[in-house]
Structure 1
Amino acid sequence: MNMEIDKVQNVLRMTVLLLVCGLVLSCGRSGKEDGGDSVTIGASMLSMQNEFVVNVKDAMDAEAEKSGVNLIVNDAQRSALTQMEHVESFIAQGVDAIILNPVEVEASSPAVDLAKRSGIPIINVNSETSSEPTAFVGSNDTRAGEMAMEFIAEQLGGEGNVLMIQGYMGQAAQIKREVGAQNVLEATPGLTLLASQTAEWDRATAMSLMENWIQSYGNRIDAVFAQNDEMGLGALQALENAGMKEDVVLISIDGITDALQAVKDGRMDATVLQDAQGQGSTAVQTALKIVESDSSYQKEVLIPFELVTQENVDSFID
């Protein structure tokens, strides 16, 4: 009887040992470290409903294909919790590196911390977290906010009433673009901020918000700064529907296709172009350099914004 029990226990021990070995092997890195032919990078994107984010993702895809990288892209759908789950999944899959397009500065930070504790390099693209990643690739959003408000100040001769449509509250771009705009407002006492409210980067939400503001402020509105083009285009539609656009300066940020065309057509006054292609491709290049222990990678890459008006828009349209 005791011999039979011993046999059963030995079988159980062997089964557990095999399972543990299998888990260790399955969690091994899929890239250069285990002799694989390619590097695998997992990417969690803020929202694939946002055209700019899609443009960054497309640039990442193109660079990954060019470099022979296996890129796994997931949509966080604006949820920091979902983003955390993506990172957990990437760790379990044994990816070589992670690219994170953070949902929020604070709420997405645990995902960065988890990746670093697991020994997997993590590169933040386009947006920031309070936790420091292995590297960051993006642009200076404070400067973008300054550029937009400086344009308004110039167009209004330093005097007038401004509305600001903010992005998703708590995300780095929203925070820093507001800081930049406020810097210029403080330096230009003739400008008055009538109201500031979020439309969560969404065109339809911004259109509804602008309609409400038109009811509240009417012809007191001299200018509108929308923190991204989607919201700028929503505001544009509301202003045009009310027959007010000719009297209101409108600028937004990103330089997506619809906004560039609106600038070309003279419907929107300007957009501050953010280089989605540059951010996406550089994020993949940076991740690959880190995986391959290439010391030439930069811990921070800031790609400049560019002001696009009717005078220079043709050079930005394909």
Structure 2
Amino acid sequence: MRRRMRRTAALLALAALILGLSGCGSVQETPTIRVGVALYLQEDTFLSTVVQDLEQQARVREEALGVKLNFNIADARSSQASQNEQVDRFLQQDYDVICVNLVDRTAAAVIVDKAQAAGVPIVFFNRQPVEEDLDRWDQAYYVGSKADRAGILQGQIVLEAWKKEPAALDRNGDGILQYVMLEGEPGHQDALLRTEYCVKTLVDAGVAVEKLDSNNADWVRGQATLRMQQWLETFGDEIEVVFANNDDMALGAIDACLAAGMTEAELPFIVGVDATPPALEAVADGTLKGTVQNDAAGQAESILDLCCALASGQSAASAVELEDGKYVWLEYTAVTQENLEDFLPEE
């Protein structure tokens, strides 16, 4: 309720500003808010979902406010140098707000300093900057979810299945869960925390685990398929659980298993993160045992709330609930076949 009241107040303030800009009498052009959005990799399935949600919600917001929301989406294709150039162009073209999904989370300081010098508010999302970098300016914010929580929920999905029917997971009957780990980028905070906490959750609950192997697949489905093919050749049916730091890699593991001739019943217990549409389909058909919803629609909504407030000269706190004056945190939610219906789009 508090969040809705903040958003309503910010929208009323923006509407009042728009009326003031439009003036009275003669017909004026529709006011436009220009937002530059710099993505680390647009083909990333989760990011593409965030962008789709952002654009869809913007159309609704436009109609309500009588304003044009112009989002310019730029794809850095995993190059921080390219992303820096994209941000430079947004600043040179006097965009009202800039939103950045960082290629390298340690590179935020340069971007923050450039935005501050130009007086343009900046919203980072989904890839959390180093705290000290975000603190360099009071008009820099972050929208995302806490990565350790995703790992915990992944571990809980496996734990609940273990408690319910241990033999279904412990196929060799040794009382130990043998697992492999598909990780995101080396050194990436989300990859590190998801990797750590999914296993820690099982260990803290008294489940014996054994890591057969782990490797980075850079969040990419095709790379994960290759990793899983190698592991199947090395370990075969010793692999009982596959942890993947995101859904694309989880789906890549499934691709490798199916290509190897496994039936659904023979697949390891595979879990991912994001609850992307393809992953939800895999949960429905039973090949993916669970995922963790990374709230794409919620992130898009919070980004849009911030953009509207900041562009109208209102405080960020008037539109969103901030933690430490900087952070908008969205909750993760575990998704399995038991609650899948709650996450499927309405027909």
Q: TM-score range by the shorter chain?
A: 0.7 to 0.9
Q: Hey, what's the Cα distance between the residues in 1 that align with 2:47 and 2:198?
A: 23
Aligned to 2:298: 278
Amino acid at match of 1:178: T
Report what 1:149 is aligned to: 155
Please give the alpha-carbon distance, in whole angstroms, between the structure 1 residues aligned to 2:161 and 2:209: 11
User: Structure 2 counterpart of 1:165, which letter?
Assistant: L
1:95 Cα deviation from its structure 2 partner = 1.0
Alignment of 1:96-115 (within 5 A): 96-115=96-115
Q: How does 1:19-34 map to 2 (within 5 A)?
A: none
Asked whether the 8 Å contact 2:108–2:134 carries over to 1, the reply is no
In structure 2, how many angstroms separate the alpha carbons of the residues matched to 1:110 and 1:170? Answer: 20
Secondary structure in 1 matching 2:90 = helix
Cα distance in 2 for residues equivalent to 1:218 and 1:245 = 15
Match of 1:8 in 2: none
1:106 Cα deviation (Å)? 1.0
Q: Is the 8 A contact 1:44 1:99 kept in 2?
A: yes
Q: What SS does structure 1 have at the residue aligned with 2:32?
A: coil
* Aligned partner (choices 40, 61, 64) of residue 58 of structure 2: 64
Inter-partner Cα distance in structure 2 for 1:110 and 1:225: 34
2:143 to 137, 143, 146: 137
- In 2: Cα distance, 1:171 partner to 1:85 partner: 22
Output the TM-score relative to the length of structure 2.
0.77
Question: Quick one: distance in 2 between partners of 1:287 and 1:176?
Answer: 29
Pairwise CA distance, 1:52: 1.0
Instruction: Give the distance between the partners of 1:109 and 1:149, measured in 2 at CA.
Output: 34
Larger Rg, first or second structure (1 or 2): 1
Question: Aligned partner of 2:265: which letter?
Answer: E
User: What secondary structure is seen at the aligned counterpart in 1 of 2:272?
Assistant: strand
| Residue 293 (1) aligns with residue 313 (2) | yes
Determine the C-alpha separation between the residues in 1 that align with 2:108 and 2:213: 29
Aligned pairs, number? 287
CA contact (8 A) 1:125 1:280 kept: no
The residue type equivalent to 2:224 in the other structure is: A
1:243-271 residue CA offsets vs partner (Å, 9 max, x unmatched): 27535111001111111111111111111
Change in CA separation of 1:112 and 1:186 when aligned onto 2, cut-off 3 Å: farther
Aligned 8 A contact 1:169 1:198 in 2: yes
1:238 maps to which residue? 256
The 1-side partners of 2:342 and 2:200 are apart by 30
* Aligned AA (2:338): E
Alpha-carbon distance between aligned partners in 2 of 1:58 and 1:93, rounded to the nearest angstrom: 24
Q: How does 1:1-318 map to 2 (within 5 A)?
A: 37-65=31-59, 66-67=61-62, 68-130=68-130, 131-132=133-134, 134-157=140-163, 159-184=176-201, 186-187=203-204, 188=206, 190-242=208-260, 243=262, 246-247=265-266, 248-295=268-315, 296-297=318-319, 298=322, 299-318=326-345
Query: SS of 2:106's equivalent?
Result: coil
Gaps of 5+ in 2: 1-16, 23-30, 63-67, 164-174
How many Å separate the matches in 2 of 1:172 and 1:96?
A: 29
User: Residues 276 and 125 of structure 1: is their aligned pair in 2 closer, same or farther, counting only changes over 3 Å?
Assistant: same
- Deviation, 1:38, is 2.2
TM-score by length of 1: 0.83
- State the Cα distance separating 1:176 from its structure 2 match: 2.8
Q: Identity of counterpart residues, as a percentage?
A: 29
1:142 Cα deviation from its structure 2 partner: 1.1
Q: Secondary structure at the residue paired with 1:253?
A: coil
Deviation at 1:91, TM superposition (A): 0.9
Q: Could you say what secondary structure the match of 2:134 adopts? A: coil
Q: CA shift at 1:82, angstroms?
A: 1.0
Return closer, same or farther for 1:64/1:172 CA change in 2, 3 Å cut-off: farther
The change in CA–CA distance for 1:70 and 1:270 in structure 2 (over 3 A counts) is same
In structure 2, relative to structure 1, the CA distance for the partners of 1:153 and 1:159 (3 Å cut) is: farther
The question of whether the paired residues in 2 share the 8 Å contact of 1:155 and 1:249 is answered with: no
Give the Cα separation in 1 of the matches to 2:104 and 2:187: 6
Aligned partner letter, 1:317 = L
Deviation sequence 1:84-130 (CA, Å, 0-9, x none): 11111111011111001111211344223322333211101111111
